């Protein structure tokens, strides 16, 4: 991501990627030129290793650039990153979204949650409605980097969504660190479902609304009703499952059981038959036996998961899981590979099952778009970027669908 010889290099989650767009904008507002900003991730040791590698590479390739490091890893270990000889400045997660943080004399840091929106190809816009997390899963370092759960008031969300729709965006994705915790800190404690219903009512011209990762333990009744009856809410749910074995889930300090995960998947499919499901799964959590791992592997088929993000477990210093008996790295990598293989097979089956159906496709590039149920769709005849076209799905290569526009 480059603008005016400023560059942002991003690691980690979707929220980090969206925030990188804001960073690029505020760097420009600050009048900074020739800067490379590394937006780090702290979820895994591999993500941190790649960030340090990017810092060294940036200095080699751009010896005169100002190198600024921010993001969750830098927030948690500012001294570590500040000690790197290539680094000129380290910013925490609050400071990184303010123009004054990039000025020569940095001013006070203010809360910046309501500034976070971004876009992807001028067709899909992202709107962060929640930040931080109040839960303490034993493997996760992110609450320490992102702070307590904080929600954006519904009126602010609606105003920003109005502007995005007015700018031509057909689809908005609501994002957050713990999205289903939305509203617990606001007056009256409106849940995510209430906020989504009010948002759709307030912005009738919004064609498509999509949600990022959802915790099955926090999906409120109003959200379930929306899944059933609101066509503008896209039929795609990404569930934060992490594991399929009850003892491992307990040791992770998750709030759902395996049966809860299966029940959520079945409920979603019963309410919205065309829904596609995704999930996050961790391979090789401490103490995980082969039998426990098999329960997670089997969850892909039992829940009908099509879009699976696999994370090899990585011990994070300061988390309870880091003090548990660890598995050999080779075992973790092998189990992650088996999960990814099962995920590829599940995706191919999901796409094959869609052949012969029709779906609305948001055109992201002239030859590629994304179906309402999230799958990528390719087509031969070029389409207008940013438009939504009805497509008949005629074939699949196991990763993408092939669509033909319905006249």
* Tens digits of residue pLDDT in 345-359: 999 999 999 999 999
Per-residue pLDDT averaged across 326-347, rounded? 97
* Tens digits of residue pLDDT in 386-405: 999 999 999 999 999 999 99
Range in 129-138, 191-200, 332-341 the model is least confident about: 129-138
Query: What pLDDT is attached to residue 104?
Result: 55
Tell whether the model's pLDDT for residue 271 goes beyond 70.
yes
Query: What pLDDT is attached to residue 43?
Result: 84
Tell whether the model's pLDDT for residue 364 goes beyond 50.
yes
Per-residue pLDDT averaged across 147-155, rounded? 93
Tokens representing residue 301 in the block: 């088929």
Per-residue pLDDT averaged across 220-236, rounded? 97
Beta-bridge partners for 151: 130
pTM assigned to the model: 0.82
Q: How confident is the model at residue 106 (pLDDT cuts 50, 70, 90)?
A: very low
* Tens digits of residue pLDDT in 181-226: 999 999 999 999 999 999 999 999 999 999 999 999 999 999 999 9
* Tens digits of residue pLDDT in 24-78: 888 888 888 889 999 999 888 888 999 999 999 999 999 999 999 999 999 888 8
* Tens digits of residue pLDDT in 110-124: 434 444 444 445 688
> What is the rounded average pLDDT for all residues in the chain?
91
Range in 14-18, 31-35, 99-103, 264-268 the model is least confident about: 14-18
Per-residue pLDDT averaged across 18-26, rounded? 84
Per-residue pLDDT averaged across 235-259, rounded? 97
Tell whether the model's pLDDT for residue 362 goes beyond 90.
yes
- Percentage, residues of the chain above pLDDT 70: 94
Tell whether the model's pLDDT for residue 285 goes beyond 80.
yes
Residue with tokens 């011990």: 315
Range in 16-30, 81-95, 133-147, 181-195 the model is least confident about: 16-30
Tell whether the model's pLDDT for residue 133 goes beyond 70.
yes
3-class SS string, the chain:
CEECCEEEEECCCHHHHHHHHHHHHHHHHCCCCCEEEEEECCCCHHHHHHHHHHHHHHHHHCCCCEEEEEEHHHHHCHHHHHCCCCCCEECCCCHHHCHHHHCCCCCCCCCCHHHCEEEECCCEEEEECEECCCCCCCCCCHHHHHCCCEECCHHHHHHHHHHHHHCCCCEEEEECCCHHHCCCCCCCCCCHHHHHHHHHHHCCCCCEEEECCECCCCCCHHHHHHHHHCCCECCEEEEEEECCCHHHHHHHCCCCCHHHHHHHHHHHHHHCCCCEEEEEEEECCCCCCHHHHHHHHHHHHHHCEEEEEEEECCCCCCCHHHHCCCCCHHHHHHHHHHHHHHHHHHHHHHHHHHCCCEEEEEEEECCEEEECCCCEEECCCCCCCCCEEEEEEEEECCCCEEEEECC
More confident residue, 4 or 394: 394
């Amino acid at each position: 991501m480059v603008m005016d010889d400023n560059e942002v290099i991003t690691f980690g989650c979707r929220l980090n990627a969206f925030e990188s767009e804001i960073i690029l904008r505020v760097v420009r507002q600050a009048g900074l030129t020739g800067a490379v900003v590394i937006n780090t991730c702290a979820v895994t040791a591999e993500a941190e290793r790649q960030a340090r590698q990017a810092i060294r590479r940036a200095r080699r390739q751009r010896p005169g650039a100002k190198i600024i490091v921010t993001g969750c890893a830098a927030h948690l270990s500012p001294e570590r990153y500040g000690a790197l000889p290539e680094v000129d400045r380290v910013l925490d997660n609050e400071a990184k979204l303010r123009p004054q943080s990039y000025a020569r004399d940095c001013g006070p840091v203010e809360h910046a949650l309501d500034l976070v929106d971004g876009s992807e190809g001028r067709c899909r816009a992202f709107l962060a409605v929640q930040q931080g997390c109040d839960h303490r899963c034993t493997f996760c370092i992110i609450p320490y980097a992102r702070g307590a759960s904080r929600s954006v008031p519904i009126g602010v969300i609606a105003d920003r969504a109005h502007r995005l729709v007015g700018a031509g965006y057909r689809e908005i994705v609501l994002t957050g660190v713990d999205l289903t915790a939305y509203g617990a800190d606001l007056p009256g404690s409106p849940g995510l479902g209430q906020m989504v219903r009010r948002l759709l009512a307030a912005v009738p011209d919004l064609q498509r609304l999509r949600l990022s990762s959802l915790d099955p333990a926090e999906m409120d009744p109003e959200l379930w009703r929306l899944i059933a009856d609101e066509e503008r809410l896209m039929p795609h749910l990404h569930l934060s499952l992490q594991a399929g074995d009850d003892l491992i889930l307990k040791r992770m300090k998750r709030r759902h059981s395996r049966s809860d995960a299966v029940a959520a998947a079945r409920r979603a499919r019963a309410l919205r038959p065309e829904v596609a499901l995704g999930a996050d799964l961790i391979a090789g959590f401490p103490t995980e036996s082969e039998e426990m791992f098999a329960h997670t592997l089997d969850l892909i088929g039992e829940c009908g998961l099509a879009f699976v993000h696999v994370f090899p477990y990585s011990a994070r210093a300061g988390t309870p899981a880091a003090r548990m008996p660890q598995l050999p790295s080779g075992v973790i990598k092998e189990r992650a590979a088996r999960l990814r293989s099962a995920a590829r097979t599940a995706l191919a089956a999901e796409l094959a099952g869609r052949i012969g159906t029709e779906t609305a496709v948001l055109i992201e590039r002239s030859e590629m778009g994304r179906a309402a149920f999230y799958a990528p769709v390719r087509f031969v005849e070029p389409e207008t970027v940013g438009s939504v076209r009805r497509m008949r799905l005629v074939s699949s290569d196991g990763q993408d669908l092939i669509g033909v526009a319905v006249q």
